[in-house]
Structure 1
Amino acid sequence: MSKLYFATTQRLAKSRLYFSVNNIEKSVSPFCQTISRKMATNPDVTKPASPEEQDKFLNDVFQMCMQRAVQASRDRNTPLVNFKKPEELKKLLNFELQGTGESHTNLLALCDKVFDYSVLSGHPYFFNQQIGGLDSYGYAGNLITDALTTNGHTYEIAPVFTMTEFAVLEHMLKLVGFHNGEGTFCPGGSYCGMLAMNVARLQKYPDSKSKGLYGLPRLVTFCSEQAHYSAEKNSTLLGLGTDNCWKVKCDNRGKMIPEEFEKRVIQCKNEGAVPIMVVATAGTTVLGAFDPFHEIADICSRHDIWMHIDAAWGGAALLSQKYKHLCDGVNRADSLAWNPHKMMMAPIQCSVLLLKEKDLLNRCHSINVPYLFQNDKPYDTKYDLSRNLVQCGRSCDALKLWLMWKAKGDSGFESQVNQALAKAEYLTEQIRKRSDFRLVIPEPEYTNVSFWYIPPSMAGKEENADYFKQLASIVPTIKLRMQLSGKLLVGYSPVGDYPTFFRMIVLNDKVNFEDMDHVLNEIERNGRDL
């Protein structure tokens, strides 16, 4: 597959086949027309394609991926989105499945349209979510994993993938400070939180592995008002119920207030319930806040509560000598979730759950499965990963991150994080200098920069309830204009008493300081008439 990767790249450089963004409304783009003319199609589409035809199809699709995703994501003049409403998209693409197959020509045309109407999240002007960029090494890792199409559940069928997972987890455990811990790759940070909650419950009540919730007291979990919504959903999934996921007040920077947490714990006990877990956050979704981990850990120690840290977004700060103080105290947690597919720019999905103590996953999740997990294998069966997990079918997500780490080293990731924070700090300073912009949080901790744009029509007005209502309505209007133009995507959100504001996420390593100015100029241009 690596030969295919480089051979195709070289062929692209020679052929210089560029797609036309001006013709994306056409049913078949010039790119696809070029490929269609070169293809020898089989008129009998019910007959399986030969291996040679399938290889040709794969090469053509890979060429399309290189041009329309990898290379297009580096081009600021390429629109990053051609937004269509669902009813429009249904007319532009035939989503229905039928009894007979289609020719490779038609399939390539469909693939081409996928690119036409998809969002280029790797584009330098994509600031919408906590993903972005397109890492070549991570992409290469995905190609290899998909080509080998195996299951990451046992060493027997995934030996290299298993060893890369062990290597990456060992390195990440050291970074967190879990020196005798364990971990696993999971399908997303929400799933990490679910596993952690299950371990917390089984640690407190080991018999619940076999007997379930029957006979147990009311169990309560805690999270801040600004924690990820998965904390509440996981309470439902594990049978605790959303009523037993208690929210804790935050300060005006979005941080959990420790005193409020302890008040809630005492209230829980006074009601005859049992507090089993708190979800603290390293880098909240909207404001990028880091909870006071030491104070929360002290409370957990006093009341025998499992401390889980959702570091899906902010865990990458541990890679930087300059910014790792943001995560001071995470080593005191019992478990921690970290999503390298966020700040580290690994391709989605790439999420890790780390636990301070070894063998917890085995004690909580292992059962006797003799057809899959045998003890007479010619290797240490600790490498049969799914033995300790809920999943059997597992994507081999470690390879892409391992390959990225091999290519960059700790120093490369540190530079990546430092640059992202530097650009966010530059953006913050530019907002301060512009009278028609206002920061929500005067000193953002991370790369979430939240702000309002104040158009000339609102300048100098009394800041009453009507003022803030109008201010909140301006943000989505500007966002829609930029979205329809295809030139820029920036997210927005309300939080607490703050009216809706722009939430800018900086992480793409292809973004520069000029791009920060460009964002403010575009928002100003699209909003000055409001």
Structure 2
Amino acid sequence: MQAYHQPDEIRTVTNRLLDMLIDYYSSPKSSKAVNYRSKEELVKAFYQSEPPNEERPLDDVLKEFKESILPASVKTWHPLFMNQMFAGASFPSIIGDLMASMMNPTLATWEASPVATIIEKNVSQWMAQMMGLPKGSWGIFLPGGSLSNLIALTIARNQFFGMDIRRTGIPMEKKPVLICSEASHYSIANAANILGLGSDHLLKIKTRVNGSMDTNDLEEQLQQCDRNHQTPFAIIATMGLTVSGCFDPLDEMAGICKPRGIHIHVDAAFGGGMALTQKGKRHFTGIEHADTLTWDAHKTLHMPLTSSVLLLPNPQLLKSVFSQKEATYLFHPQPEHEIEDLGKYTPLCGKRFDALKLWLLWHTYGTENFREQAENRFKLTEDFGAYLKSTEDFHMDYQSESPISCFHWAPKEWQKVDRKLRAPYSNKLHRTIREEIKQDGNAFFNIALLNSMDQFRFILINPLTTLDQLKDLVSEIRARALAYCNKHPQPFQSSGEQR
């Protein structure tokens, strides 16, 4: 292993790696988003029942990666990769990720990573400032928004029931209730499970047409909790819903829940970037009421996975929940200072330097570039929505509030047919078209159930995506839809009045 620590060898291998990186990113339009192969083919090609036993030259291993693994993998930087809530990664942030691995610090203690500790706290302060949180807010970087949500709700649980909960466990006789909407991210249900609450203590509020929380139902459900002697202790306001991309009415929710002492967690994992836009920031009215906030920079700021931060107006709540007296081998007495061991603020001990890639990107591009990119993605979403509305056969159930467009195909003659009646046929059509396009490899997008019907779901955060590309893809979808209908006649009456 020592051979690869020699400067000449490191330089040679690194140059080859950079050449590979440049080739990989240089021509996205001329390649496919997916080089589709079946699961059986991929398992046969890549699964190894035994680990490699013999030493091989690193050049050979890199060649295997370049020639077999890379071509078989989904190209998340492709302009028409719209399947997940991330896409691509800017070059400075990739370099930052590499530099973090090169340094390999652990941010558990100040003495092992003093500069990294300063940078993480500083970058989290910048993010809190961009979100409009009160002065003095900062937070910690965590490996993903799901964990950030879990940590936030752990704080809410412990704060509500008292810190003795660390010793005694949850006082279930108080009938604790965690509140979210029916459209909240699935990590909230997982958190209820991990926190020992169980799904019976997760109250899901009804939603409006665009997926945002119905505050009328929220008030009714809280009154029902009072009658049942239940104790709501936290509510999740999702800013940038996973399916629709729309926003829960944060200010209304805060007005209802704050007087009850309910912890308000803002899940802005996806929608946080929209706070930088002129139209998007209006959805963050009431952000000053947030007790905790999740924001994933690897989504709208084009960072490599993962770059998630949990922000708090009162970061000492983290310390009250996670600081351990037993780890005297790790945490040593230090002079009192506002910057201290981050390991006391998180359940993580092996804590990666994820803030570095955002620090490097921020210093390279600046805040105004972030705003410009967010505005551009928002404008693309609006322009695409306007184009869909100009057609007779593509329909949107609501106005997009972030770079997610959900829409369905329905020719004019279908419009007099009840949605529930045509849903089974329509759903199969949409899923078939999506699978065909994915297997051809030209684009990769998703399907989501919205208002009782499957809809195409495009996540439009890749800066390489253009309106012309989207129009061409819509034309392809239309052609495939017509071909499907010719091959599979619809079982419902599609013209004239319904009988």
1:92 paired residue number:
45
SS of 2:273 mapped into structure 1: helix
SS of 2:148 mapped into structure 1: helix
1:200 paired residue number:
156
Deviation at 1:224, TM superposition (A): 0.3
1:5 paired residue number:
none
Is residue 2:74 matched to residue 1:119? yes
1:188 paired residue number:
144
Deviation at 1:128, TM superposition (A): 1.0
Deviation at 1:508, TM superposition (A): 1.1
Q: For 1:97-150, what per-residue CA distance to the aligned partner results, in whole angstroms no more than 9, with x for missing partners? A: 233333435412331211111111111111111101221111111111111122
1:515 paired residue number:
469
Alignment of 1:22-421 (within 5 A): 51=6, 52-53=8-9, 55-68=11-24, 70-72=25-27, 75-93=28-46, 95-96=48-49, 97-112=51-66, 113-175=68-130, 176-204=132-160, 205-213=162-170, 217-368=174-325, 369-376=327-334, 380=337, 382-421=339-378
Which moves more between the two structures, 398-407 or 423-432?
A: 398-407
Tell me the TM-score normalized by structure 1. Answer: 0.85
The whole-number CA distance in structure 1 between the counterparts of 2:403 and 2:5 is 50
SS of 1:528 mapped into structure 2: helix
Alignment coverage as a number of residue pairs: 478
The whole-number CA distance in structure 2 between the counterparts of 1:286 and 1:228 is 9
Indicate how the Cα distance of structure 1 residues 462 and 211 shifts in structure 2: closer, same or farther if over 3 A, else same: closer
Deviation at 1:363, TM superposition (A): 1.1
Indicate how the Cα distance of structure 1 residues 183 and 228 shifts in structure 2: closer, same or farther if over 3 A, else same: same
Tell me the TM-score normalized by structure 2. Answer: 0.91
Alignment root-mean-square deviation, CA = 2.1
Q: For 1:70-122, what per-residue CA distance to the aligned partner results, in whole angstroms no more than 9, with x for missing partners? A: 324xx211112112222201222353423333343541233121111111111
Indicate how the Cα distance of structure 1 residues 103 and 90 shifts in structure 2: closer, same or farther if over 3 A, else same: farther
The whole-number CA distance in structure 1 between the counterparts of 2:381 and 2:390 is 15
The whole-number CA distance in structure 1 between the counterparts of 2:101 and 2:22 is 16
Q: Report the identity percentage.
A: 28
2:445 paired residue number:
490
SS of 1:267 mapped into structure 2: helix
Q: Is the 8 A contact 1:319 1:410 kept in 2?
A: no
SS of 2:300 mapped into structure 1: coil
Q: Counterpart of 2:375 in structure 1: which amino acid? A: N
Deviation at 1:319, TM superposition (A): 1.5
The whole-number CA distance in structure 1 between the counterparts of 2:11 and 2:54 is 21
1:43 paired residue number:
none
Q: For 1:450-506, what per-residue CA distance to the aligned partner results, in whole angstroms no more than 9, with x for missing partners? A: 1112369x75773454422111111111111111111111111103x3310001111
The whole-number CA distance in structure 1 between the counterparts of 2:315 and 2:173 is 26
Q: Is the 8 A contact 2:3 2:9 kept in 1?
A: no
SS of 1:138 mapped into structure 2: helix
The whole-number CA distance in structure 1 between the counterparts of 2:415 and 2:226 is 51
Deviation at 1:250, TM superposition (A): 0.6
Q: Is the 8 A contact 2:77 2:88 kept in 1?
A: yes
1:470 paired residue number:
425
Q: For 1:491-526, what per-residue CA distance to the aligned partner results, in whole angstroms no more than 9, with x for missing partners? A: 11103x331000111111122222221221232233
Q: Is the 8 A contact 2:280 2:401 kept in 1?
A: no
2:490 paired residue number:
none
Indicate how the Cα distance of structure 1 residues 169 and 252 shifts in structure 2: closer, same or farther if over 3 A, else same: same
Q: 5+ residue gaps in structure 1?
A: 1-45
Deviation at 1:53, TM superposition (A): 4.4
2:495 paired residue number:
none
Indicate how the Cα distance of structure 1 residues 91 and 102 shifts in structure 2: closer, same or farther if over 3 A, else same: farther
Q: Is the 8 A contact 1:455 1:529 kept in 2?
A: no
Q: Is the 8 A contact 2:209 2:397 kept in 1?
A: no
Q: For 1:327-350, what per-residue CA distance to the aligned partner results, in whole angstroms no more than 9, with x for missing partners? A: 211221111111111111111101
SS of 1:123 mapped into structure 2: coil
The whole-number CA distance in structure 2 between the counterparts of 1:492 and 1:383 is 45
1:16 paired residue number:
none
Q: Among residues 452, 456, 461, which one is paired with 1:502 in the alignment?
A: 456
Q: Counterpart of 2:463 in structure 1: which amino acid? A: D
Q: For 1:214-255, what per-residue CA distance to the aligned partner results, in whole angstroms no more than 9, with x for missing partners? A: 575221100000010111110110111111111000111211
SS of 1:126 mapped into structure 2: coil
1:432 paired residue number:
389
1:3 paired residue number:
none
Q: Is the 8 A contact 2:377 2:461 kept in 1?
A: yes
The whole-number CA distance in structure 1 between the counterparts of 2:276 and 2:48 is 43
Q: Is the 8 A contact 1:269 1:275 kept in 2?
A: no
The whole-number CA distance in structure 1 between the counterparts of 2:249 and 2:30 is 43
Deviation at 1:438, TM superposition (A): 1.3
**Greater length-normalized contact order (CA 8 Å, ≥ 6 residues apart):** 2
Indicate how the Cα distance of structure 1 residues 459 and 222 shifts in structure 2: closer, same or farther if over 3 A, else same: closer
Which moves more between the two structures, 105-114 or 160-169?
A: 105-114
Q: Counterpart of 2:96 in structure 1: which amino acid? A: G
The whole-number CA distance in structure 1 between the counterparts of 2:415 and 2:262 is 50
SS of 1:500 mapped into structure 2: strand
The whole-number CA distance in structure 1 between the counterparts of 2:2 and 2:265 is 54
